[in-house]
Amino acid sequence: MNQRPVDLMAGMTVRHALMAAGLLEEVEQGRRVHDEWGNEVGLEGALSPGLQLWVK
Amino acid sequence: MKRSIFTILFLIIFSALISPLHAAPTSLRILYVNDFHGYAEPYKAKGDGPLQGGIAYLAARVNQLRREKPTLLLAAGDMIRGNTWANLFQGFSVIELMNAMKFDAMVVGNHEFDYGPKVLKEIIARARFPVLGANVAGLPALKPYVIKSVAGVRVGIIGLVTPETPELANPKDVQGLKFASPEATARKYLHQLRNQAEVIIILSHLGYPEDRALAEKVPGIDVIVGGHTHTKLDKPARVNDTIIVQAWEYGKVLGVLDLTRKAGKISLAKGYLEAIQPEPGQDDPAVSRIVAKYQQKMDGVLQQVVGETDVDLDADHARSRETNFGDLVTDIIRQKTGAEVALINGGTLRRSLVKGVIRQQDLYSALPFDNYLVVLKLTGGQIKEALEHGVSGVAEKAGRFPQVSGLTFTYNPAAPVGSRVKEVIIGGQPLKPEQEYTLATNDFLAAGGDKYTVFVELLKGDAAPQAQVKMGKGGKVMYSQPGKQLREVVADFLQAQGKVAPALEGRIKEVR
């Protein structure tokens, strides 16, 4: 998440990753989450090990 | 002789003209949605702009696009579970919609298993379209693939769901089922369909990174229509010769992929996501009627009595002291999970309930968040650290104040933050800092919500490439059930119990 590793349990989602990285409030104020290919992802989207996400 | 040469030339030219190389191009359209999660009504998330989606508006657009060219309408999983509009009817409301919209095929997502095998079988039986799951063994109602003829082109559609489904669902809901490798399964059915289909689509609930990996490894897939990661792929991606699409979430967009097929292969692919907005008069009336019918039924279901309380259940003070509502909910969590201790943030409880009957809608207002339960293995020292954090904002009545079961503790609110917690008793014994205990909480805190960093820290240290910690097997996660919400666990308990009357027990005491 923004190049900072976060450790989560299987089944957790983008929302949990944002919480763990302390970025959820920023997203709730209108910023967007993108994957490493530049695609926007929803907060309930599934994660996979090693996935890189960015809050822009 | 002359005549023979003429005949041979004629045959050569004729056969060349009718060969696939000279066949007229064929156009077909694929419309797709994924991760709808029962969001039948237009939707607006915190931080979003105007209302988006609304299945009746999406259906109207499907109708228009279908009239333009031969079309398939596909669903890439996680359709029937999530929003209350779907959950209160165990997903049957969504299947009725999908039947009305004449879907051509759907793959099961991990959340399709959340209502249990009996309901899933009934859902599949009610669906007037094939429900696919090629890599699921043990549920014959799921078909591995379907072949559809579109504009004279035979299209093979193979369904694949994430093999992590057993980790995401309640174990009893997937008991007896086996989830095979998507790659091996794709290879197997591609081989089978080689002479039966001219276009191969993988309808995938694997997630976008996994779809890319599949396209890298397995040649011969024309299109992957994906889901699971809620990815907004504005334009189709291409990996080798495979086109990959995914349409975000909740029916906020409709995916459109136009394929032109010439000389036996796809010569042109154009795709986009069409934003769905609820414009008055732009809905499909038949679908609107289904949405409204279940909306009305919902009101009835929410009025259903789930239990009764002989005392008022206090949520108003859950951010500053022990409350009987906090005791009740954490006791239910501990009983459900079998953990030694349960701890939730007081902010979980949003409304007190007065003495009398408890209806479904009371639970929705008292426990509005879609939290699920998690059990972690912590040392006594880490539990004390969690309690210290919990009481650190008591003066400002911060939502992180703990409500607990299976332990009692004293704390001095006047002491410096970090050294307020005094005596902690677990199972009648003083907390031992080095001993490991099982602690049940909600996913919000487990992910570090309300700045409970102790839980997130707990998950660190596993091998980096396998960052997601597996359950049990020496790991710190003992239980995790994303498919069952805390509110449902409480409702189940109240329905079984009938009547409750929780009283304060002195679990949390202030000392000076």
Q: What is the pLDDT of residues B215-239, one digit of tens each?
A: 999 999 999 999 999 999 999 999 9
Predicted confidence at residue B463, as pLDDT, reads 34
Give the other-Cβ count within 10 Å of B143's Cβ.
Answer: 16
Are B453 and B325 within 8 A, CB to CB? Answer: no
- pLDDT value at residue B264: 84
B80 phi and psi angles, rounded to 5 deg: -105, 0
Question: Looking at chain A, which residue has its C-alpha nearest residue B454?
Answer: A20
**Facing residue for A46 by CB, picked from B47, B207, B234:** B207
Distance from CA of A33 to the nearest CA of B (A): 10
| Cβ–Cβ under 8 Å, residues B418 and B388 | yes
Q: Report chain A residues touching chain B, CB-CB < 8 A.
A: 5-12, 14-17, 19-20, 22, 27-31, 35, 37, 39-51
- Residues B196, B199, B201, CA angle at the centre, nearest 5°? 105
- d(C-alpha B317, C-alpha B385), whole Å: 22
Residue B140, number of CB atoms within 10 A of its CB:
9
Would you call B230 and A51 a contact, using CB atoms and an 8 Å cutoff?
no
Q: Which of B467, B469, B444 is nearest to B377 (CA)?
A: B469
The whole-number average pLDDT for the span A10-28 is 93
Q: Is B10 left (phi over 0), alpha (psi -120 to 50) or beta?
A: alpha
Q: Which residues of chain B have pLDDT under 50?
A: 11-21, 462-470, 472-473
Q: Which residue of B has its CA nearest to A41?
A: B231
pLDDT at B20: 47
Positive or negative torsion for Cα B482, B88, B225, B32: negative
The reported pLDDT for the residue numbered B8 is: 54
Amino acid present at A51: L
Name A33's bridge partners: A55
Do B162 and A46 make contact, defined as CB atoms within 8 angstroms? yes
Residue range B235-272, pLDDT digits in tens: 999 999 999 999 999 999 999 999 999 988 898 999 99
- Range list of H helices, B165-284: 165-168, 182-193, 208-217
- Please write the tens of the pLDDT for every residue from A42-52: 999 999 989 99
d(CA B94, CA B332): 31
Q: Which residues of A touch B35 (CB under 8 A)?
A: 42, 44-45
SS3 (DSSP) at B409: strand
Helix (H/G/I), strand (E/B), else coil: B249: coil
| Distance from the first to the final alpha carbon of chain B | 118
Interatomic CA distance for residues B333 and B369, integer angstroms? 15
- Contact status, residue B225 vs residue B255, Cβ threshold 8 Å: yes
Per-residue HEC secondary structure of B204-237 comes to: EECCHHHHHHHHHHCCCCCEEEECCCCEECCCCE
Give how far Cα B247 sits from Cα of B34, B174, B224, B228, B379, Å.
6, 27, 12, 10, 43
Chain A residues whose CB is inside 8 A of the B228 CB are 45-46
CA gap B214, B82 in Å, rounded? 27
Please give the Cα distance from B409 to B422 (Å, whole number). Answer: 7
For residue A40, list chain B residues with Cβ-Cβ distance below 8 A: 231-232, 248
Instruction: Specify the pTM.
Output: 0.90
Spell out the alpha helix ranges (H) of B140-207. 165-168, 182-193
d(CA B165, CA B392): 38
Between chains, do B468 and A47 touch, taking CB under 8 Å as contact? Answer: yes
Residues A19, B444: contact at Cβ < 8 Å? Answer: yes
- For residues B381 and B387, give the distance between their C-alpha atoms in angstroms, rounded to a whole number: 10
Give the number of other Cβ atoms within 10 Å of residue B502's Cβ.
18
A-B CB pairs within 8 A amount to 122
Of A39, A43, A50, the CB nearest to B231: A39
Q: Under a CB-based contact definition with an 8 Å cutoff, are residues B81 and B111 in contact? A: yes
Using the beta-carbon criterion (under 8 Å), do A7 and B459 form an inter-chain contact?
yes
Cα B137 from Cα B178, distance rounded (Å): 5
Closest by Cβ to B209, choosing from A6, A10, A51:
A51
Question: Which is nearest to B78 in space by CA: B228, B292, B231, B248?
Answer: B228
- Selection from B246, B182, B180, B187 nearest residue B220 by Cα: B187
Of the candidates A34, A6, A39, A42, the residue with the CA atom closest to the CA atom of residue A22 = A6
Q: Which residues of B touch A28 (CB under 8 A)?
A: 46-47
CB burial of B193-204 (b: ≥16 within 10 Å; e: otherwise) equals: beeebbbbbbbb
**Cβ-Cβ contacts under 8 Å, A43 against chain B:** 45, 230
Specify the pLDDT at position B476: 86
Q: What does residue B120 show for φ and ψ, rounded to 5 degrees? A: -60, -40
The answer to whether the CB atoms of B82 and A44 lie below 8 A apart is: yes
The token pair at B12 is 């050569």
Closest to B59 in 3D by CA, of B295, B286, B216: B286
Residue B96 tokens, joined: 């009725």
Residue of B nearest to A43 (CA): B230
* DSSP H helical ranges for B367-480: 380-391, 443-446, 453-458
φ, ψ of residue B376 in degrees (nearest 5): -120, 155
Residue B467 to residue A22, Cβ atoms within 8 A: no
Contact yes or no for B157/B134 (Cβ under 8 A) = no
